[in-house]
A and B are shown apart, each in its own frame.
Chain A
Amino acid sequence: MTHVLEARNLVRDYHIPGNLFRKARTVHALKGVSFTVDEGKTLAIVGESGCGKSTLGRIITLIDPATAGELLIDGRKVDIAREGLTPEMRRKVQIVFQNPYGSLNPRQKIGDILAEPLVINTKIPASERRDRAMTMLKKVGLEEKHYNRYPHMFSGGQRQRIAIARALMLNPKLLVLDEPVSALDLSVQAQVLNLLADLQDEFKLTYVFISHDLSVVRYIADDVMVMYYGEAVEYGSRDEVFSNPQHSYTKTLFAATPRADVASIKARLARKNAA
């Protein structure tokens, strides 16, 4: 069986041109990352800001080309630097961004936002585009009456639902979720995570879930990859990584995550009283 997504030794360098005051230099954002994701599974990519996880997300989504290495989607090698991006490839991979306030055009109605991927990438007629947008709107838990509204009329959680709906309009196989719930409140976060789980079951979607929140990752992921300064320092199944972290950075990360269970509160209060 072929993997939905396979990365072999992906490298991405950014060249920063020099000027009068500074020499030109190269930033190695990704230093050779390899992984595979199977259909219907979720790979979580964890790391702190600047570790290259969003760069990796952009490469997988075919927004930026990799400097070196191979990217295979559905078993087919893709190189957008050489061949450019075909509508057919765009239909396979979609992305949901972190900030639902920034990723929707404030001057477009929801219906137009949802139909736009179809306008750009397919030749589907307007009436069918409308039908599909309506169906998708209901799929993500919104109603028909929301079709003609503007993004500012929605809450953060609803906007993230719209962004997810837009990403699903082309029936992609692979969805890259770049911190999709970190801008949301706790209760709304739970709703969106549930929606993502429902959609994954229904459409057999494959997720690449980029996050820095380990509690969310533990809940949603099948496989976990921990990144640190452009390298994958840990990669394995969720249970392996969480129960037996190998790399010292992963251990630091786990130790730093605040715990909200009764036992650790008791331990903390005991330490405090002893001091």
Chain B
Amino acid sequence: MALLEIENLVVEFQTATGPFRAVDGVSLKVDEGEVLAIVGESGSGKSVSMLAAMGLLPWTATVTADKLTFNGRDLLKMSSADRRKIIGKDIAMIFQEPIASLNPCFTVGFQIEEVLRIHMGLDRAARRKRAIELFEAVGIPDPTERLSHFPHQMSGGQCQRVMIAIALACNPKLLIADEPTTALDVTIQKQILDLLMKLQQEYRMGLIMITHNMGVVAETADRVIVQYKGRKIEEADVLSLFESPKSNYTRALLAALPENATGDRLPTISELFKDQQMLEGAAR
């Protein structure tokens, strides 16, 4: 049984100019211990579909799906109280901006212990012990000292490690990483990706990697979904996607990578080509 199963997910936002369809019929499955990458440009609905699965969208959004189950339980039909017991515990998420997603008013120790208090019901001493354990697991030096630091006292890479520690606090079955390394330097990006992959192997988690960086996809994913304007364009395992992309859009994306450049100009995707041929590709 798949860990997370989504069929025909549609997300619409009510805007001043009428409804806007951000996600249009996306289906996906993630198994235990699998790394799925969702790639797409901004506006392709890759973050929105995951936020919908987490139930984190604002009230202006309407979410419909034929199927939205986690571990065999229907996420759409359960009450929000029940859902909150799963979100943050069994499904955890890491966001793009590590510094912005931590609360600046509380120490990082408080923020990680908050998760342990709410979801695990541990007492004070056990929480502290577990928090130190987690900080060690994500490679934060001097964890006991660090617990009493505020986010602004740490670098971006350290903050992202704290975010990962918070996400891992309750041993989630599924981890969703939304552009986890976009705001970081390449050397730090490498460390964070290596850490994520190591932890994913160790805990046998399902991992969904949302990214626009083809390099990150190549370095992490088992399976890849390419999205464009809210639709799924292509789904393939990572090797065949890079070796023999089926859709025109994926082919164009890969050709636009500067490292694949052959002449002195890069091939580009013109707007016209995008809208017509891409969607033909999607229909197939």
Contact = CB atoms under 8 A, between A and B. Distances in A.
A252 B185 CA distance: 12
A219 B258 contact: yes
A194 B239 contact: no
Contacts of A89: none
Given A185-B212, A258-B213, A260-B257, A253 B242 contact: no
Contacts, number: 106
A261 B218 contact: yes
Contact of A275 (B201, B215, B254): B201
Contacts of A259: 215, 218-219, 259
Given A215-B258, A269-B239, 5 more contacts: A188-B41, A190-B258, A257-B215, A261-B242, A264-B219
B250 to A, nearest CB: 11
B252 interface: yes
A120 interface: no
Q: Contact residue range for chain B?
A: 35 or more
Interface in A176-194: 185-191, 193-194
Q: Contact residue range for chain A?
A: 35 or more
B253 interface: yes
A262 B242 contact: yes
8 contacts: A186-B214, A186-B253, A186-B256, A213-B186, A214-B186, A253-B187, A260-B218, A262-B239
A255 B190 contact: yes
Contact of B216 (A188, A258, A265): A258
B103 to A, nearest CB: 23
A185 B268 contact: no
Contacts of A189: 256, 258
B252 A49 contact: no
Given A186-B212, A193-B258, A265-B242, A48 B219 contact: no
Interface in A238-275: 252-253, 255-262, 264-266, 268-269, 275
Interface of A: 48-49, 156, 185-191, 193-194, 197, 212-216, 218-220, 252-253, 255-262, 264-266, 268-269, 275
Return the 7 tightest CB-CB contacts between A and B, nearest first. A258-B215, A256-B190, A219-B258, A48-B185, A185-B41, A190-B266, A190-B256
Given A190-B267, A197-B265, A219-B261, A262 B186 contact: no
A258 B269 CA distance: 23
Given A49-B185, A262-B243, A187 B190 contact: no
B190 A193 contact: no
A259 B213 CA distance: 10
Nearest to B218: A260
Contacts of B213: 258
Contacts of A257: 186, 215
A260 B190 contact: no
A34 B257 CA distance: 31
A99 to B, nearest CB: 13
A131 B238 CA distance: 51
Given A190-B256, A219-B259, A256 B268 contact: no
Contacts of B268: 187, 190-191, 194
B259 A261 contact: yes
B42 interface: yes
A17 to B, nearest CB: 20
Contacts of A213: 186
